[in-house]
Amino acid sequence: MFKLILNQQVFLYFFVLFPSIIAAQDQSAESDILFLKIQELEMEMADLRNEVEAQNYLIDKLIRESVEEENENSNQIDNIDTNIVDDVYRFDGINDSKSIEEIYDEAIRSLANEEYESAKKLFSYLIDNFSDPEKLPLSLFWLGEIEFSSSNFDQSKIHYIELISSFENHWRVPLAHKKIGDIFFKKGDIKMAKEKYQYVIREFPNNPASSMSLQSIEDME
């Protein structure tokens, strides 16, 4: 009788209570793992915040040092107004406290309003004072367009070539090549213009500049 009761207790423990204990332990382990993962994520987020704050501090420091250096050399630079208003420097009418996006947008507005000298000044300022893989090649392209529209073909070509050589993978490069072909055409060099158009068609077959080059060749014939 005692053995029967003992066997029943053993059966109850191993087949009823023990699985429950194991399940509870598994749930506890899963909870511990989840908690550790949450802690790890929180630590990573804190590290990222610290890194961003450090980067922002370094950027602000570099900007301040750059402005101070510009101020020290201002007497040697043409077209720079050295007046300081609330610690904001004015570069020949350009508010350099604005972001690159603000200055670029202002340049585009000037271009749209046919204020070409203002647009040239702003685009040139961006090229000389910023390092941006999108705005710089676009600024070079628009400078090329402004000079082209004024029939300053040699200067226009310089801007297009700088865009092509410095930003060879930029999406404006095919059109810059095509515009160089237009410059050859405008200067009466039909052979070089045609070769440039054919280059665009061959190298950039899926780019709109290719169909534009093809149309230019057809117009020449």
Q: Tell me the per-residue pLDDT of 140-184, one tens digit each, with 9 for 90 and over.
A: 999 999 999 999 999 999 999 999 999 999 999 999 999 999 999
Number of H helices, E strands in the chain: 9, 3
Q: Is the residue at 115 inside a domain? A: yes
In this predicted structure, what is the pLDDT of residue 65? 52
- Asked if 13 and 46 sit in the same domain, the reply is yes
Indicate whether 79 belongs to any domain.
Answer: no
H or E stretch at 188: none
41 shares a domain with 130: no
User: What is the structure's pLDDT at 221?
Assistant: 79
- The two tokens of residue 31 are 């909870």
Which residues are 85's β-sheet partners?
A: 88
Cβ distance 185 to 169 under 8 Å?
no
Same domain, 68 and 107: no
Same domain, 110 and 181: yes
The whole-model pTM stands at: 0.59
Residue 113 and residue 203 share a domain: yes
90 bridge partner residues = 81, 95
Domains held by the chain: number: 2
Determine the pLDDT at residue 100: 87
Range of the domain at 46: 2-72
- Give phi and psi for 170, each to the nearest 5: -70, 150
Inside any domain, residue 78: no
The encoded tokens of residue 182 equal 């237009």
